[in-house]
């Protein structure tokens, strides 16, 4: 498989809105069958990237391929094989849930089996008979999820998929995405909820101000990042020598009998320094993706 035949392939993609540079040379490749998380704060370019993939907007320059196709040249072919959940889902409020799904289903050929739709709605606790205008944001989001998944797309593009959903339904959506992956679909979803990316994404890209600043396996990203270490001493000690170890900063100190450190890079220097201390307990805590994400922003990683 060449790069351009990957489910998603972007090379030096630029997009401007007037003077606002929304995408500044985005490079991204997603492999078949993976669940890929796309992380970034509001306004970082996540939605713009996804909308370019479906030819809802056009990049100013660069190469963009979805399922090996150029979305500008073959928009309907791309969309036929994709399921899309927009970040802000708006539906015709004058109809029922069932009628809305019927309309969207009629836009596809072949159409999805209605039994699949009802089964999925049941799993998400979505009442098909209700008028859309009576639904909460979360229940509308369920419609978006059903319509994105109902035709077993090759590629799922989901912009903030669990927005507005309660925790139980969120878990059901994660399960649906895992099942889609098992059925051979590739899942690309944006989020600023890092816990969900951590829970289901095999790989993750972080975008900031229209630039990809990191692409990594989710676990590798967590593992290679800083660690938080809590150390309890048998007796009060002088901890200044520990503070001077390269890559070590003190986050919290409970007198001189316990200390919480943040360690970046190799652990070797710290372990050697601790050999001189009466250590009662030592706990290494891996950071959450959220902490890593914040670290990127606070440290200004990936800046031009």
Contact 55, 82 (CB under 8 A): no
**Binding to another protein in span 40-69, by CB under 8 A:** 42-43, 45-48, 51, 54, 56-58
Residue 63 burial class via C-beta count within 10 angstroms: exposed 0-12, middle 13-18, buried 19 and up:
middle
Q: Residue 10 or residue 222: which is nearer to another protein going by CB?
A: 10
Q: How far is CA 304 from CA 44, 74, 211, 300, 301, in A?
A: 14, 34, 9, 9, 9
Residue 50 backbone dihedrals phi, psi, to 5 degrees:
-65, -40
Q: Please tell me whether residue 185 adopts helix, strand or coil conformation.
A: coil
For residue 13, what are its two tokens? Answer: 């993609």
Closest distance between another protein and the C-beta of residue 58, in Å? Answer: 6
Closest distance between another protein and the C-beta of residue 121, in Å? Answer: 17
Work out whether 158 is an interface residue with another protein (CB under 8 A).
no
3, 61, 88, 281: which one binds another protein (CB under 8 A) = 88
Q: Residue 49 or residue 162: which is nearer to another protein going by CB?
A: 49
Binding residues for another protein, how many (CB under 8 A)?
38
**Binding to another protein in span 92-111, by CB under 8 A:** 92, 94, 103-104, 106-109
Contact 70, 11 (CB under 8 A): no
For residues 272 and 277, give the distance between their C-alpha atoms in angstroms, rounded to a whole number.
Answer: 10
What's the N-to-C CA distance of the chain in angstroms?
A: 32
Contact 261, 167 (CB under 8 A): no
Q: Residue 54 or residue 295: which is nearer to another protein going by CB?
A: 54
Helix intervals (H) in 150-204 = 167-182, 194-200
Can you say whether the dihedral through the CA atoms of 114, 117, 121, 122 is positive or negative? positive
Closest distance between another protein and the C-beta of residue 234, in Å? Answer: 54
Q: Residue 85 or residue 204: which is nearer to another protein going by CB?
A: 85
**Binding to another protein in span 244-273, by CB under 8 A:** none
For residues 199 and 48, give the distance between their C-alpha atoms in angstroms, rounded to a whole number.
Answer: 24
User: Site map for another protein, 3-32, x if CB under 8 A?
Assistant: --------------xx-x-x----------
Candidates 78-86, 212-220, 260-268, 279-287 — which segment interacts with another protein by CB under 8 A?
78-86
Q: Residue 43 or residue 241: which is nearer to another protein going by CB?
A: 43
* Chain contacts with another protein (rule: CB under 8 A): 17-18, 20, 22, 42-43, 45-48, 51, 54, 56-58, 75-77, 79-80, 82, 84, 86-92, 94, 103-104, 106-109, 144, 147
């Amino acid at each position: 498989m060449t790069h351009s035949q990957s489910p998603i392939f972007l090379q030096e993609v630029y997009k401007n809105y007037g003077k606002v540079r929304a995408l500044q040379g985005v490079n991204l490749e997603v492999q078949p069958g993976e669940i890929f998380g796309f992380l970034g704060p509001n306004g970082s370019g996540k939605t713009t990237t996804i909308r370019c993939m479906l030819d809802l907007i056009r990049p100013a320059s660069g190469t963009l391929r979805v399922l090996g196709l150029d979305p500008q040249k073959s928009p309907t072919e791309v969309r036929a094989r994709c399921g899309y959940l927009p970040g802000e889902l708006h539906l015709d409020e004058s109809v029922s849930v069932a009628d809305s799904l019927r309309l969207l289903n009629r836009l596809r050929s072949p159409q999805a089996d209605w039994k699949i739709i009802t089964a999925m709605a049941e799993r998400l606790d979505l009442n098909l008979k209700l008028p859309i205008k009576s639904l909460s944001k979360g229940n509308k989001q369920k419609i978006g999820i059903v319509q994105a998944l109902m035709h077993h797309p090759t590629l799922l593009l989901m912009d903030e998929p669990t927005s507005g959903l309660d925790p139980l339904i969120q878990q059901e959506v994660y399960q649906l995405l895992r099942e889609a992956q098992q059925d051979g679909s590739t899942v690309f979803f944006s989020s600023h909820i890092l816990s969900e990316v951590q829970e289901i994404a095999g790989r993750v890209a972080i975008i900031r101000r229209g630039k990809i600043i990191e692409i990594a396996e989710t676990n590798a990203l967590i593992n290679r990042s800083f660690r938080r270490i809590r150390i309890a001493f048998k007796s009060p000690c002088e901890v200044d020598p520990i503070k001077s170890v390269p890559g070590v900063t003190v986050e919290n100190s409970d007198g001189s009998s316990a200390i919480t450190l943040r360690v970046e890079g190799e652990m070797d220097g710290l372990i050697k320094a601790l050999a001189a201390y009466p250590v009662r307990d030592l706990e290494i805590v891996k950071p959450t993706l959220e902490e890593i994400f914040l670290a990127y922003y606070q440290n200004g990683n990936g800046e031009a």
